[in-house]
Structure 1
Amino acid sequence: APTAMRSKNMNGSGWSMTEHLPTIRLGVDAAMATLIWLVQLVIYPAFRFIEADRFIAWHHKYTRAIAYVVLPLMIAQAACIGWLCLIRASVGNVTSAGAVLAAWIVTFTLSVPCHHKLQQQGKDPQIINQLVRTNWLRTLAWNIALLAGALSLRS
């Protein structure tokens, strides 16, 4: 197993990044799960209520703003889980890695193309419905990652 990264805290005691990484990862997993539930239950359904003549401008602002929240969390989650899999390829860590990989695949093969179509074509109820429907896959995947992460803390 890789050597734990150590630094000194203000009291001079050792602090192991590797020791605390599962807890950090659980926080990131919880943030992703919370965010995806907000997207699934509130944000994407609200697309239906944006006026068509304002939709493209609104959608552009939304996608730019949400990227500042989503991308750092996705990267942090992948980094934490990847590192944990290198240290200890437990069932929980590998399950989380698979769930996160599935969420990324759905994001970049289904969700991002829907957003591109909405940005180019404007408000389209069929595309919005497709976005809401296929987002359940990401909701499931990120919640599996959270559950597997929580269970791996117990082992």
Structure 2
Amino acid sequence: MFGLSFQQLIIQLHVFSTLLMTGVVWHMQVVHYPMFLVFKKEDGVRATEFHRQRTGYLVMPVMVVEFVTAVLLTSSSWMMLYGNFLWLNLMLLVLIWAITFLRHVPRHKRLSESFEPDTVHALVRANWVRTLLWTLRSILLIRFLG
């Protein structure tokens, strides 16, 4: 078990990283991914590779903080009172990671090798699941805090 001040830091980092990722995923869903369709096919490969590299610099550290803090929360004294919620929170995050690395990363790789509008449309459709899951997690965490 962790001390109370450390647990408070963990939950603050967790909520911050979750809310940040929720904002990022909504931006990707509504603005960024649809913008890929504006590119000509010959520019799309370069644009999506640029996106993949730069976005990784932003989201990977935040996703790691979000994941590590979700795991740490399941080892906190809050488990006695909020165990079901903390496990649900972690399981939803594991689902997001699975979708990200099993579905999104391969699509991004495919786009950076051969830009096809159908792949962009598939990316946008599939990203709705992550967008809704992150939004659900944000709502649940805000409710948990309040």
Compute the TM-score of the two structures, normalised by the length of structure 1. Answer: 0.85
**Counterpart among 101, 104, 108 of residue 111 in structure 1:** 104
Q: Per chain length, whose mean CA-contact separation is higher, i.e. which structure has more relative contact order (CA < 8 Å, sep 6+)? A: 2
Does the residue aligned with 2:75 lie in a helix, a strand or coil?
A: helix
**Contact residue 13 and residue 65 of structure 2 kept, 8 A:** no
Correspondence for 1:22: 11
Structure 2: distance between partners of 1:153 and 1:75: 21
Instruction: Find the structure with the greater CA-based Rg.
Output: 1
Q: CA deviation at 1:108?
A: 0.9
Q: How many residues align?
A: 142
**Contact residue 96 and residue 144 of structure 1 kept, 8 A:** no
Structure 2: distance between partners of 1:47 and 1:61: 12
**Mind listing any 5+ residue stretches in structure 2 that lack a counterpart?**
none
> By percentage of residues, which structure has more helix?
2
Structure 1: distance between partners of 2:89 and 2:72: 12
1:35-63 deviations in whole A, cap 9, x for unaligned? Answer: 00000000111010012111111211111
Correspondence for 2:88: 95
Q: State how 1:48-63 maps to structure 2 within 5 Å.
A: 48-63=37-52
**Contact residue 25 and residue 149 of structure 1 kept, 8 A:** no
Correspondence for 1:12: none
Compute the TM-score of the two structures, normalised by the length of structure 2. Answer: 0.90
